Amino acid sequence: MKKHFAYFLSFLFVVATLVAGCTASREQEDEAEDELAEFRTWVSNKTANIADRTEEDWQKAKEDFKTRTQELDQKQEQFTDALKQEYQQLKQEFRDADDMYGRSRQEKRANEWERNLLGRWADMATINENNVGEVYVHFLAQVREKKGSWHDADWEMAEQVLERLNARKKAITGDIPTDTEVKIRALQMEFRTLETAADARDHN
pLDDT, one tens digit per residue, over 61-80 is: 999 999 999 999 988 888 88
Position 113 scores a pLDDT of 96
- Torsion (CA) 29, 34, 36, 42 in degrees, nearest 10: -170
Both 70 and 134 in a single domain?
A: no
Position 200 scores a pLDDT of 76
What domain range is 173 assigned to?
A: 123-202
The whole model's pTM is what? 0.66
DSSP annotation of 177: P
- Is residue 23 predicted with pLDDT exceeding 50? no
Across 25-52, average pLDDT? 83
> Which residue did the predictor score with more confidence, 9 or 143?
143
Both 90 and 164 in a single domain?
A: no
At 148, the amino acid letter reads: G
CA 166 to chain centre: 27
- Count structural domains, the chain: 2
Share of the chain above pLDDT 90, in %: 64
